[in-house]
Structure 1
Amino acid sequence: MASPQNALHATRDYSTITEIAYHESPPSYKTFLEQYLEPNLPVIIGPDLTKHWRARLQWVSHDTGKPNFDNLREQLCHNPVEVPVADCQCKDFTDQRRSTMDLKAFLDEWETDSMANTPSRTYLKDFHFVRTFPHYDAYETPDIFRDDWMNEFWTRRMDMDDDYRFVYCGGDGTFTPFHADVYRSYSWSANICGIKKWTLFPPNQEHLFCDNLKNTVYDIENVDPVQFPNFDKAKRFTIYQKPGETLFVPSGWWHQVHNIGDTISINHNWCNGSNLDLLLDSICSDLKEVEREIEHLKDVMEEGEWIETCQKLLLLNSGWDWSTLWHMCMTIRKRIQAQMRHGGLEESSYLTFTKDEEEMPRKTPIFQPPLVSQQPPLDLTLRRVDAVLDYIKNEKSARWFLEHIKNLVLDD
């Protein structure tokens, strides 16, 4: 069953885009929703958005504009902290080789490279900073990005302790390979110091990024024209994100990021009702790819075994399955209904946790739900959530998996 075109979502047209918009001061939520979130378009926001953050004030040397390595070590290295790092000179399939490293050792190595004006090889990335330092308060999520279902849901899950809030640190020459974000989520990235060169590609050009074996371009600055003969035809935008600026990266926009000088950035992956249809399309596409890869096993499996196997592989390869999407939508639906029952009151004190949620041992602070003024009309969001839930209930294999493997009652 193909993913439906959901009439509840805006039509998105990328053909007339000529530049990436820039706002010197943060736009109102209404402006952000109507001009960028719903049409799925990027925007850069000036340093006013981040100027009061602790990270901006204490992580950067105001004389040089470079990282304040002494402050970082003093504030973050009281105890050993293992951080994830990538080797930017070693490709590992579609990513870079990943490992872990002590944070102080990373800062020492990075400072040595910086003082010698030597390009760096090691890039600290996908570091769950809030989970590691839950009381540090390095920044606050801007109001226009508060309608964040991924972090609201993941930080309230009963089966894991996780989030999608990250810090990235790297010297000159470090980079992230060509990709689109997990689940086709949005991301926002705030530059604490340094300059990031972003190259962004609007959606619906994926056929230009792949070779005959469905391999995707790894590094847009080193593309084999024989393997990828059509890549140069892809529409793209290049921007240079300066210190203090924040970039909103929309859903499904492929991109590559290069660090110019010593850079630190704070990033959230997130989603909400405005790109819920794109998330549904993404999980359907991921599942279709899994089914294609193991199609040769279908005839030797019982139907239920086939469905369960595909969901296991989907979770392993893509990080989610029908259960993940179902539970996220149900969590948000419950919260939206509570806000509607209270007449759209701005305070969130009535959004209480269950006893189980309160007793769940967590390192990761719970991401507080958005206020009514920080999200689209509640009735529209509820209709969007219900449309996806109805789709899942009516998709035969999804329903069987949730009812027989996850023991869920879908029509309660």
Structure 2
Amino acid sequence: MKKSIFIGRQPIINGDKSIFGYEFLFRKTAENFADISVSDNLSATANVLENIYDIGIKTLMGEKPAFINVTPDVLETGMIQLLPKDDIILEILETSRIDNDAVSIIKEFKDYGFGISLDDFVYSEAWEPLLRLSDYVKLDVLQYSKAEIKEMLLLFKDYGIKFIAEKVEIYEDFQFYKDIGFNLFQGYFFQKPTVLSSSTLDPDYMMLIDIFNAFQSNANIKEIEALFKMTPDLIYRLLTLINSVAYEFIVRISSVKQAIALLGYDNISRWILTIILASKKSDFRSDPLLESAVIKGKMMEDICKKYIGKDLSDKAFLTGMLSLVNVVLGISLEDLLDKINIDTIIHEALTEHNGRLGDLVEFMEKYGKNDYVSADIILKKINPSASIRDIFEIDTVALMYLENVKKTNMV
């Protein structure tokens, strides 16, 4: 099922008024304000991360670092680890519990390569260990007098920390805080947060639980692949995830199994957990178009095995599934393929009907319109021994496959 996604982004500025980086903010709608009803930091951060993965890290950040609000509890889930550590500053919320365990987990992420910032910082002895780990301290300049802020900068000057003045609203304040030693600035004087939006597919909640449990029980890759093949919406998001967090890979994806192997069990498990925590749903539903994508993918896979060759069957499934996902999203096929780094054979089969998979795509289009005369001509081109009657049987098998899985609450 298609859903709209939103994320707030506000620039953090250097002293010369150039953009240093961005803070990403939880937004539930296109309205530019935080949803104060969302008091669960874990869910809010999961929502931000889910939307970053879906929209694309490079799309949102460019070459700039990103500040993301977290707590030690969020870090313990491991879902942050999919992000490119060299470009991410973890902003520890002022509401965080601070004890030895919290300091330990933050130090782990610091040692791993993430930057650390303290958000809306108010000094207390409990925060002393974190000051020594931090790269940045953010001060809400509206909370203090200018004399108090001067004192704090003097107090912390030996820690080697960069200071961020938050909620700078007029030029005179920018100049004042720059003169007394602040390094970076954020506030309405420069730019209000902007809300960026996109759309993605909302996977079945119970299916997410099944897949997450399969990863936790270390199921083999064939079992994991079989679960993914029942959720074309999740396959699409897996492909966009690879395009987002693994942009250094030059390999083009040709199968679901390859996509799983490329990211690895741990990374995909963390990503699935992020979606689960962001959704907080307890129901499940199916989408007729997505069910059609499963059937089409399964049919193309089985036709390929029977009449073309098993070596292309994985590509055939992915081709069939992707041929309907753009319809669910309400975008063109070209826009869909721009979002994912798909194998050239699949790309050309979908866009130009090139090659054996292209013939199969064209056949499925005619078959889906009940134009059996034209479909049979294309089928004979694929394999002279093939017949429409055989396809009817394959169609029935695909329908039974879907229904059997639905009975086990997997879809």
Q: Report the TM-score range of the alignment, normalised by the length of the smaller protein.
A: under 0.3
Higher helix share: 2
Larger radius of gyration: 2
Q: Name the TM-score, length of structure 2 as normaliser.
A: 0.24
Q: Which of 1 and 2 has higher RCO (CA within 8 Å, sep 6+)?
A: 1
